[in-house]
Amino acid sequence: MNKEHTAVVEKAIRYMKDHLDEDITSGFLASYVGYSSFHFVRIFKNVTGISPRHFLSALQMEAGKTALLQDPSLLMKILLSVGFHSPGSFNTRFKPNVGMSPRKFSIDSLSLSSYVRQYEHEELQLEEHRSNRSVSQQIRCHIEAPADFRGIIFVGLFTHPIPDQKPAAGTALNRKKRTCSFTDVPSGTYYALAAGIP
C-alpha cells in the first residue's frame, strides 16, 4: 500500500474525529489534504475499503453508542457534538447500523458487562456463529492483546471493513486464549475484527 496515500487518509480521519460536529463533505476533506475530490475518494476507498462518507457516519455512530453508555441526561448534548441534529436522526440511523434500538443497546450493554465479569475466569464453550450460505474455507486468527488483559475478546468475520451487520462467523476468547479457527466459512472476502471487553 502506498505510504503517501495512507498518510493522506490518516490525516483526513484525524480531521473527521476532531470535527464530528461539523458538516464534513468529501470535497472539503479532499481540499484539506490537497487532492481533487475524485482522486481523494478513490484513495480513501483503496486504503479503508469504504467511502469517506461511510467512514464518517461510522465514527459518528460509534461516538453516539459511547454517549448512550455514559450519562443519559447528557445524551442530547453529546449527540449534537458528534454530528446528529436530533434524537430522531440518531434513532433512525442507529437500528440499521447497530441491529437494535438505542434503548435495547443500553440494556444489552449492561447485560454484556455482567456476562463478561461472570465468565472472564472460566473456560468458554461457545459454538461459532455461522452463516447459512455455501461453505468451503477455513480461517485462523491470532489476536494480539496486552499480556495483562483479563476480559473476553469477541472475534468476527465481517463482509465490510466496518462491522455494521452480523458477522458471517464469530466467537469469543478468554483466559489468555488468543487464537481461533473459523471452519465452514462461506466463500468471499472478509475483514477479521476483534473487540476486547475488560
Cell 476483534 locates to: 194
Nearest to 130 by CA among 121, 138, 119: 138
Residue type, 1: M
Q: Are 113 and 197 in contact (CB under 8 A)?
A: yes
Residue 104: the pLDDT is 84
Is residue 66 a contact partner of residue 81, using CB atoms and an 8 Å limit?
A: no
Say if residue 91 is exposed, middle or buried (CB neighbours under 10 Å; 0-12, 13-18, 19+). Answer: middle
Q: In 10 A of CB 172, how many CB atoms?
A: 21
Average predicted confidence (pLDDT) for the chain: 82
Reported as a pLDDT band with limits 50, 70 and 90, residue 41 is very high
pLDDT digits (tens, 9 = 90+) for 74-109: 777 777 777 787 778 888 888 888 878 888 888 887
The structural domains of the chain, with segments of one domain joined by +, span: 3-110, 122-197
Flag whether pLDDT at 129 surpasses 50: no
pLDDT reported for residue 1 = 67
H/E run at residue 16: helix 3-18
Q: How confident is the model at residue 9 (pLDDT cuts 50, 70, 90)?
A: very high
Instruction: Output the pLDDT for position 54.
Output: 92
- Work out the pLDDT band at 149, boundaries 50, 70, 90: confident
113 Cβ contact partners less than 8 Å away, ≥ 6 residues apart? 197
- Contact present, 175 and 119 (Cβ < 8 Å): no
pTM of the model: 0.72
Amino acid 30: pLDDT: 96
The 10 Å Cβ neighbour count of residue 154 is 19
Span 144-162, mean pLDDT?
86
| Homologous superfamily in CATH for domain 3-110 | Homeodomain-like (1.10.10.60)
Contact of 173 with 126, CB cutoff 8 Å: no
